[in-house]
Amino acid sequence: MTESIYIPAIAGDGSLYPIEKMQAHLDGQLHLAVSVFVFDGDLLLIQKRATTKYHCAGLWANTCCTHPHWAESVEDCAERRLTEELGFTVPLTRHQTVEYAADVGQGLKEHERVTLFSAHVDKRTLHIEPAEAEVEDVRWIAPVELLQEVRERPQDFTPWFRIYLQRFPGLSFLEAA
């Protein structure tokens, strides 16, 4: 039996309240999330989600993403998840917050208010240790190649990653930093 994880859901009046993570996805309840994008120059580090993930298994996504635990800041959450999924820590820059809703399959829905973060690294000195339960593979890709792959094979990418790329072609959210 897995431990219940409570995440911050957003009520109609904007206040936060704890909700069990799976319940938020079953109900499509608006909740907080983070997405991290790590770059070396214009190359973006993307990950292929592990085949054991409860949704979007085996699909390519941005560097990492998750939900803050109840009472955890989005900054602490982004740092925690980068370490948990990919085994490294780097200074992160906070960008804008966006909302989206998407069907992620198996009767689950994401409805997230996501804070975007980025980092710039030298991939030659970055030691990546993907957590097997979270990440099947990683690779570096230029935005122009990424957009082409998404156009040719959208089914290979998570819904939220496709939404980000549609809203921010060339990952232009960085320009608003």
User: Choosing from 56, 64, 65, 77, which is the catalytic residue?
Assistant: 65
How confident is the model over 98-108, as a mean pLDDT? 94
What is the rounded CA–CA span in Å between residue 61 and residue 150? 11
Cα-based distances in Å from 89 to 64, 73, 84: 12, 16, 10
127 is in an annotated binding site: no
Q: How confident is the model at residue 173 (pLDDT cuts 50, 70, 90)?
A: low
pLDDT above 60 for 139: yes
What is the per-residue pLDDT across 32-66, written as a single tens digit (0 to 9) for each? 999 999 999 999 999 999 999 989 999 999 999 99
Residue 23 three-state SS = helix
Q: How confident is the model at residue 169 (pLDDT cuts 50, 70, 90)?
A: confident
Residues 6+ apart with CB under 8 A from 75: 92, 94, 117
What is the rounded CA–CA span in Å between residue 74 and residue 53? 22
31 is in an annotated binding site: yes
What is the rounded CA–CA span in Å between residue 49 and residue 68? 19
What is the per-residue pLDDT across 106-127, written as a single tens digit (0 to 9) for each? 899 999 999 999 999 999 999 9
Locate the domains of the chain by residue range. Answer: 6-169
85 is in an annotated binding site: yes
Decide if 136 contacts 54 (C-beta within 8 A). no
Choosing among 3.20.20.10, 3.90.79.10, 3.40.605.10, 3.40.1030.10, the CATH entry for 6-169 is: 3.90.79.10
112 in catalytic set: yes
65 in catalytic set: yes
